[in-house]
Amino acid sequence: MTINLLLQNIANGLSLGSLYALIAIGYTMVYGILRLINFAHGEIFMLAPYFLYFGILIFHLPWWASTIVAIGLTAFTGMLSERIAYKPLRDAPRISALISAIGVSFFLQNLAVVVFSGIPKSVHRPIFFTKIYQFGEIRIQSTLFASIGVSIIFLSLLLYIIYQTKTGLAMRAISRDIETSRLMGVGVNRAISITFAIGSALAAVGGILWSLRFPQIFPTMGMIPGLKAFIAAVVGGIGSIPGAMLGGLILGMSEILFVTFLPALSGYRDAFVFFILIIILLVKPDGILGIKVQEKV
Amino acid sequence: MKKQKEKICTIIALIILFILVYFAQNRLDAYKIRILNLGAIYVTLGVSLNLIYGFTGQFSLGHAGFMAIGAYVTALLVLPPYYKEVSFILEPLIWPFTVIHAPFIIALFLSGLFAALVGFLIGLPVLRLKGDYLGIATLGFAEIIRVIANNLPHITNGALGIKGIPEFTNLWWTIGVAVVTIYIIKGLINSSYGRALMAIRENEIAAEVIGINLTNNKVMSFTISAFFAGVAGGLFACLLTTIDPKAFMFVMTFNILAVVVLGGLGSITGTVIAAFLYNIFLEYLRPIEAGFNLGPVHFPPIPGLRMVSFSILLLVLILYKQRGLLGGIEFTWGGFFRFCNKLFSNKKSTEGSAS
């Protein structure tokens, strides 16, 4: 193994990890507030590149405008799914909400088959995203820089919203105790809607960057990245936003490095991810940055 | 006296079921029999998931993995050796599997045992986790099992899967296994073990305080659940006659979970009803996709529409029946007679008022 190859793969791992981190945040925010595993998040992720694709193809929008529209529409879809499918179940057993989430996931995925058709489509990539930079022997595609850079920008924006604004304060309060926050006059429904909108918007950014890296989009493309991002959220400590970022990076890195060091076992790539998950859960059941909640007797 | 009466009722009901199965197997067309077969397999799967989730309160998402184990064990045991030579194209099957051959019933039993063994080994470390974390960890194991099946071409034929499995499964087998499963799990729940499991579901700490061994009971429940999932996997393999790792994705677990939740957690009756309804709906929505005429309007065939309408149906059901169809109510002979009496006496009183 040359040092160049290692560096190359670390760069790949970073870029994959930052995408996982973007998606993982949606899971972790929703779980932190509603204690709900939002299985539809992977489908929200899948919608964004489709919106982008059709924005360019049908409405002839320039690339940047279509991206903004796609992120907005995806955020709206996420918000709408919460209103329709999760809000009525807020006082129901938690498993009902989970079934509802999986129902939404089925629905969006198959709706995509009906509306967009199941044939994979190749997305348009602006020239500056296909450029390849050469550093000595390492070749890096500019999407890699873009995914890392865009992730950093959006994640710092998110941290600002969560820790510096009033809405962020409301979200943090709700995740502590939803009933008490309601009594204190926090607009719970509004804050939850905003949570879904932010989470979905980040998934949309992730989805669009994903489609630039792997330029084929199809209705089931959200399943595997969604599941892995969810694992990333759990590994980092579900409910914790820095944890989701960390988990995403760990997962992306270890996945790439596993394939690099053990190419013979590359078929076990997905199993390895789950293996990490189980090991971390057994050693530290609340994830790396999760807070241990002591059960009262 | 009352117990005796109930026993007689059960036996009569079983005889009626026996006659119904006889007619169904001989008179219905292959398509309907297949739906009923799937429904009965889902009953076995659902009831076994209900044991670990509905009665013990341990959120397990690993059923597809146990099913996969059962399906592969059965397939490898019942396939005639000649067929194995032909169908393993990627890499030849390794030694012990090339020669072993077992009748269907032994294959089913062994697949259950093997799934139970894996369930036991997984359960020991994992069942220390609680709530959603347990769900995720078991989901992880199910996925690992699937990935392993995908990567062992000399045992499982890799992604190609195993084809040409003899079609042993018929209504006798599926309904028979479902009845046996219900009988055993019902007996377990009504025993002192079952009470312990339900105590764990209600409150783990309280259960531990009154002297219930949490680990032992949870692992027992998990292992038994895995056993029946494995048997159901075997039935599934011999129903479809072809299996590949893709059949045991997370969607499979989700279908079982949906059956259990829609039927009502902790209700075996609910699971049975939901299992059949789920499969019947899933099949009878097919015409939607093939295009249909609604009065003068013709709807063209649209691929994917079936699952869209199914997911809407699922969402509506869960939104309006938040605790499932039966909401934890169980069928009992006492309840059945009270219901009949009520129906009967109502009729009498209306007749009386009319005359």
- Phi and psi torsions of B270, nearest 5°: -60, -40
C-beta atoms of A118 and B147 within 8 A: no
Among the partner residues B150, B307, B311, nearest to A267 by beta-carbon distance: B150
A92 reaches B (C-beta below 8 A): yes
Residue A98: which of A40, A153, A46 has the closest Cα?
Answer: A40
* Closest chain A residue to B303, measured at CA: A114
> For tokens 């929505």, what's the residue?
B285
Angle (deg, nearest 10), helices A188-213 and A3-34: 160
Which residues form the domain of B261? 6-293+300-340
The alpha carbon of residue B7 is apart from the nearest alpha carbon of chain A, in Å, by 35
Q: Show the tokens assigned to A26.
A: 């949606």
Q: In chain B, what residues touch A282 (CB-CB under 8 Å)?
A: 125-126, 128-129, 137
* B345 belongs to a structural domain: no
* B30 belongs to a structural domain: yes
Segment (H or E) for A263:
none
Q: What is the pLDDT of residues A81-96, one digit of tens each?
A: 999 999 998 888 888 8
Q: For chain B, what's the residue count?
A: 355
pTM equals 0.88
Residue A49: which of A75, A71, A78, A32 has the closest Cα?
Answer: A71
CB burial string A226-255: b at 16+ within 10 A, e below: bbbbbbbbbbbbbbbbebbbbbbbbbbbbb
B144 reaches A (C-beta below 8 A): yes
B304 and B289 Cβ atoms separated by less than 8 Å: yes
Examine the pLDDT at A44 and tell me if it is beyond 60.
Answer: yes
CA distances from A174 to A35, A95, A179, B160 (A): 11, 20, 8, 49
Q: What is the pLDDT of residue B347?
A: 60
Q: Show the tokens assigned to B38.
A: 């799937």
C-beta atoms of B147 and A267 within 8 A: yes
In chain A, which among 197-226 make CB contacts under 8 A with chain B?
Answer: none
Among the partner residues A100, A117, A270, nearest to B147 by beta-carbon distance: A270
* Closest chain B residue to A285, measured at CA: B129
Q: What is the pLDDT of residues B314-340, one digit of tens each?
A: 888 888 888 877 776 778 887 888 888
Query: What residues have CB less than 8 Å from A244, skipping those under 6 apart?
Result: A21, A24, A25, A27, A28, A232, A233, A236, A238
As a whole-number percent, the residues of chain A with pLDDT over 70 amount to 97
CA distances from A223 to A46, A220, B312 (A): 9, 6, 20
The alpha carbon of residue A281 is apart from the nearest alpha carbon of chain B, in Å, by 8
CB pairs under 8 A between A and B: 117
Domain ranges for chain A, please list them: 16-220
* B115 belongs to a structural domain: yes
Q: What is the pLDDT of residue B355?
A: 38
C-beta atoms of A278 and B302 within 8 A: no
Q: Show the tokens assigned to A135.
A: 């550093």
Domains identified in chain B, total number:
1
Q: Which residues make beta-bridge pairs with A141?
A: A132
Residue A233: which of B182, B239, B133, B65 has the closest Cα?
Answer: B133
Q: What is the pLDDT of residue B352?
A: 44
A106 reaches B (C-beta below 8 A): yes
A218 and A121 Cβ atoms separated by less than 8 Å: yes
* Closest chain B residue to A119, measured at CA: B303
Residue B101: exposed, middle, or buried by beta-carbon count in 10 A (0-12, 13-18, 19+)?
middle
Q: What is the pLDDT of residues A169-204, one digit of tens each?
A: 998 888 888 888 889 988 889 999 999 999 999 999
The alpha carbon of residue A280 is apart from the nearest alpha carbon of chain B, in Å, by 10
Give the largest CA-CA distance in chain A: 62
Residues A117-133 have a mean pLDDT of: 81
C-beta atoms of B319 and A100 within 8 A: yes
A289 and A242 Cβ atoms separated by less than 8 Å: yes
B302 reaches A (C-beta below 8 A): yes
Among the partner residues A103, A238, A285, nearest to B315 by beta-carbon distance: A103
B306 and B290 Cβ atoms separated by less than 8 Å: no
Among the partner residues A93, A100, A295, nearest to B323 by beta-carbon distance: A93
As a whole-number percent, the residues of chain A with pLDDT over 90 amount to 32
Q: What is the pLDDT of residue B136?
A: 87
* Closest chain B residue to A103, measured at CA: B311
The alpha carbon of residue B13 is apart from the nearest alpha carbon of chain A, in Å, by 33
H-state helical runs in B28-103:
30-49, 63-78, 81-87, 95-99
Q: What is the pLDDT of residues B33-61, one digit of tens each?
A: 999 999 999 999 999 999 999 899 999 99
The alpha carbon of residue B268 is apart from the nearest alpha carbon of chain A, in Å, by 17
C-beta atoms of B147 and A295 within 8 A: no
Examine the pLDDT at A270 and tell me if it is beyond 50.
Answer: yes
Q: What is the pLDDT of residue B180?
A: 94
Q: Which residues make beta-bridge pairs with B199?
A: none
Residues of chain B with pLDDT under 50: 351-355
* B347 belongs to a structural domain: no
A231 and A37 Cβ atoms separated by less than 8 Å: no
Q: What is the pLDDT of residues B142-151, one digit of tens each?
A: 999 999 998 8
C-beta atoms of A103 and B304 within 8 A: no
B175 and B97 Cβ atoms separated by less than 8 Å: no
C-beta atoms of A103 and B318 within 8 A: yes
A62 reaches B (C-beta below 8 A): no
C-beta atoms of A93 and B265 within 8 A: yes
* B274 belongs to a structural domain: yes
* B98 belongs to a structural domain: yes
Please give the Cα distance from B292 to B272 (Å, whole number): 31
Among the partner residues B144, B254, B318, nearest to A275 by beta-carbon distance: B144
